[in-house]
Structure 1
Amino acid sequence: MALESWGMLGLFLSAFISSTIAPGGSEAVLAYLVNSQRYVVGQLVVVATIGNTLGALTTWWLGHWAAKRYPAEALLPDSRRKSLRTVRDWGSWALLFSWLPIVGDGLCFAGGWLKLSLFSSIFAIFLGKALRYIAVAYAFL
């Protein structure tokens, strides 16, 4: 089935999956759909941002759950411990960088682990991801 037939739903699913611990390429899907000129670019950016934010919040909730079950920092691999320290130092503002590959998942996980404010976390995650998708869309206009 052609990517264009999936349209907005395909973009949403790609963005959601790309923002969980599974790898993905939502930027490529967004670029393809922007180039197709079949959709309003602003709508594409909003759909991608919402999907990617919801995926990141899934990782945030996993961190929140993990903190209840496994409170010891020592159980985390080194990459997650670094994310935990970064988020502890910067608070919710660190989640502005949740769009970064590999590191972003760790930041979201750490935000949940540290039980950062859900609303502050959503705001920072959404803003960071929106700015990234705006830049990608602009680059392919």
Structure 2
Amino acid sequence: MWLYSSLFISALSSATLLPGSSEILLSSLALENQVNLISLWLVATMGNVLGSCINYWLGMNLMRFKHRRWFPVSIEQINKAQLHYKRYGSYSLLLAWLPIIGDPLTVFAGVFAMKKRLFLLLITIGKGVRYAMVIAVAVKVEQLI
């Protein structure tokens, strides 16, 4: 059970603005003989989606501080980002699993008040496909060795 808990926490923290790499843990767990690959996939995906939901929530709540002097982004920068987000926004969330740009995409979704159901759908698809690929590659590499 601790394996699944560790994977969940790793996947959750990897999806937030905190550093993390759940792919390494997932790959190593996928090579264990006594694990269910579908359970691993579900746990990793759920943890990562929850981490993205935390980012979304942070983005939603961040905007109430936009008029404070210490706020790190100007109103002009926010408006410019909103134009880009409207152009590419929603479906860019399918790429929220990418390093560096993925986490900010989920924060922007909250900042710009994206519909929660669409957010969850796109995030779950993108992150679920990514983790399925991680498991598939790990298993295939082990078979080749």
Short-chain TM bin: 0.7 to 0.9
After superposing the two structures, state which structure 1 stretch, 102-111 or 88-97, moved more: 88-97
Instruction: Give 5+ residue unaligned stretches, structure 1.
Output: none
Q: Please, which of 47, 53, 60 is the counterpart of residue 51 of structure 1?
A: 47
Aligned residues: 135
Q: Is the 8 A contact 1:83 1:106 kept in 2?
A: no
Whole-angstrom distance in 1 between the partners of 2:90 and 2:31: 34
After superposing the two structures, state which structure 1 stretch, 84-93 or 65-74, moved more: 65-74
Residue 19 of structure 2 is matched in structure 1 by 23
Residue 100 of structure 1 is matched in structure 2 by 98
TM (normalized to structure 2)?
A: 0.83
Q: Please, which of 25, 36, 39 is the counterpart of residue 40 of structure 1?
A: 36
Matched letter for residue 66 of structure 2? Y
Residue 65 of structure 1 is matched in structure 2 by 61
Matched letter for residue 100 of structure 1? L
Residue 122 of structure 2 is matched in structure 1 by 124
Instruction: Give 5+ residue unaligned stretches, structure 2.
Output: 140-145
Whole-angstrom distance in 1 between the partners of 2:100 and 2:93: 13
1:36 is paired with a residue whose SS is coil
Matched letter for residue 56 of structure 2? W
Question: Structure 2 vs 1, CA of residues 37 and 71 (structure 1 numbering), >3 Å: closer, same or farther?
Answer: farther
Whole-angstrom distance in 2 between the partners of 1:71 and 1:63: 15
After superposing the two structures, state which structure 1 stretch, 64-73 or 117-126, moved more: 64-73
TM (normalized to structure 1)?
A: 0.86
Question: Structure 2 vs 1, CA of residues 100 and 16 (structure 1 numbering), >3 Å: closer, same or farther?
Answer: same
Matched letter for residue 17 of structure 2? I
- Displacement of 1:83 in angstroms is 6.5
After superposing the two structures, state which structure 1 stretch, 62-71 or 16-25, moved more: 62-71
- Displacement of 1:92 in angstroms is 2.0
